[in-house]
Amino acid sequence: MAERIKASVPLAVVIGVLAFIWCEVGFNYTFHWSTAGDLGTGLSLPTSFHLVVPAAFVAWGFFFAAGADTGAFVKVLLAQVSGCAAALLTIITSSAIAPAPDFWGIGLMVAVFAIVLVLMTALGDWHYVPAAFGAFAVVFLWWTATGLDYWAEGGGGAANTVDSLSDPLTAGAGAFGGVLSTPYFFVVLSVFASLVIGCVLGLISVKVTALITPAEAEQEAEQVEGHPTPR
């Protein structure tokens, strides 16, 4: 066990450092750097496009689950495209056939597009269903947190301004009294961008670890191949 822990330390440290940097950049971008007005709390109102910090960690995890190499990066990235596209279509169609307060439309279209995502495995190994479902789920989580826009009329807020937060009719239904209210298209776009960043962070973490531990990487390759590397 001690050897396994020792071997994991470089990767763990690299991931920890990158996770810290991502949190700093993601939260500051959303609540300090690219904003739509001062909330008077030390934070600012996020713009419609923002970074969804937890989404990147989801994609990062799927990158490692898929193999943690360039092939895994491509596979997860493509799965995120299909997952986010399915979520966008689900939001549009479910809201059109059964808007608030009825939930059956959401349930029905989630079922339909879940079936579609699974059936897409017939297209080849490039379609990584777990990551597609993960992207699909993250979009729905953030859509809920930001006010279920389109399904709920005005759920994303009438205007992305501090003044609009003072009136429930314009604040939207997003978390923190409408602070997170976001139009549905920007929900999908923000989540997708954050998922892509998660894939990039996964690839960087592997590449940096290989650079700082070349001897260990070579030994591991020898063990996998079953013969020593020529020197």
Low-confidence ranges of the chain (pLDDT < 50): 217, 220-221, 224-225, 227-231
3-state secondary structure of 157: coil
User: Is 94 within the bounds of a domain?
Assistant: yes
User: Is 129 within the bounds of a domain?
Assistant: yes
User: Is 179 within the bounds of a domain?
Assistant: yes
Q: How many domains does one find in the chain? A: 1
Q: What are the tokens at 90?
A: 């689900």
Q: What is the pLDDT of residues 176-195, one digit of tens each?
A: 989 999 999 999 999 999 99
Q: Which helix (H) or strand (E) element contains residue 127?
A: none
CA dist list (Å): 42 to 23, 46, 146, 161, 190: 17, 13, 21, 16, 23
User: Is 135 within the bounds of a domain?
Assistant: yes
User: Is 220 within the bounds of a domain?
Assistant: no
User: Is 118 within the bounds of a domain?
Assistant: yes
Residue 201: give the domain boundaries.
Answer: 10-38+46-215
Buried/exposed 48-74: b ≥16 CB within 10 Å, e otherwise: bbbbbbebbbbbbbbbbebebeeebbe
User: Is 224 within the bounds of a domain?
Assistant: no
Tell me if the pTM is above 0.75.
yes
CA dist list (Å): 27 to 23, 24, 33, 44: 6, 6, 9, 11
Q: What is the pLDDT of residues 110-119, one digit of tens each?
A: 999 999 999 9
pLDDT at 224: 45
User: Is 223 within the bounds of a domain?
Assistant: no
